[in-house]
Structure 1
Amino acid sequence: MFTILLAEDDDSMRRFLSKALERAGYEVVSYDNGADALKGLKEKRVTLLLTDIVMPEMDGIELAKRGAELDPEMKIMFITGFAAVALQHYNEAPEKARILSKPIHLKDLVREVDRMLAA
């Protein structure tokens, strides 16, 4: 079973995404900020980091960079409602990271996660 670490500061969005991914057969551990998510990455090996970019305490780009240092094989996907912010900082993201813009339909999210994990 693939394990996904979800970092999303919006409570309802985090619950919404977690439930959709769990229904698709994934194990999901979730955090509401980047700093706690980094601690989670240090404690548990995950297959995919799915993170918002704009979050308190540590943004998703920094979380992804640090996560990639811990596990270079971990796949990374960003979700964001701030396309301009995402595009501005995307050059700093790990090389193979993907980015999805909010709002995203759950079927599209699951399809993209499936594709990324199958690669």
Structure 2
Amino acid sequence: MIRILLAEDDRVMREYLTRALERSGYAVSAVDRGTAAIPLLESEPFDLLLTDIVMPEMDGIELAQKAGEMCPDLRVMFITGFAAVTLKAGKTVPQARVLSKPFHLRDLVMEVDRMFEMENMTRGA
């Protein structure tokens, strides 16, 4: 099962995204800030870091950079409502995908599915 680490400071959005991804067959661990994600990355394997960019304490870009150092194979997807930080994210973590708010849950699930399409085909899912 594909494991997703979700870092989102908005409680309602975090719960909403967690439910949608779990219903689609993903295992999700959710935290409310970037600094809370680091200990999980140190102790558990994840396939995808799904992170808001604008968060207190540690923004999603900094989290993605640290996560990339710790887990080089970890895929990254940013979610944001700010166009300016989208550009910064694309320059700082060029291999990451960016999904701009507002988005429909099916768009998020489709993007995550696409990221793991080849793995799903190999596993016969």
Relative to the length of structure 1, the TM-score reads 0.95
* Contiguous gaps of at least 5 residues in structure 1: none
Runs of 4+ with deviation above 4 angstroms: none
Q: Which has the higher contact order (CA 8 A, sep 6+)?
A: 1
What is aligned with 1:98? 97
Structure-2 separation of matches of 1:103 and 1:32: 19
- CA offset digits 1:67-115 (Å, max 9, x no partner): 011111111000001111221343112x311000001100010000000
* Contiguous gaps of at least 5 residues in structure 2: 119-125
Relative to the length of structure 2, the TM-score reads 0.90
Over aligned residue pairs, what C-alpha RMSD do you find? 1.0
What is aligned with 2:54? 54
1:80 matched to 2:86? The reply is: no
Structure-2 separation of matches of 1:27 and 1:17: 12
Structure-2 separation of matches of 1:31 and 1:2: 17
Q: How many residues align?
A: 118
What is aligned with 1:109? 108
SS at match of 1:86: helix
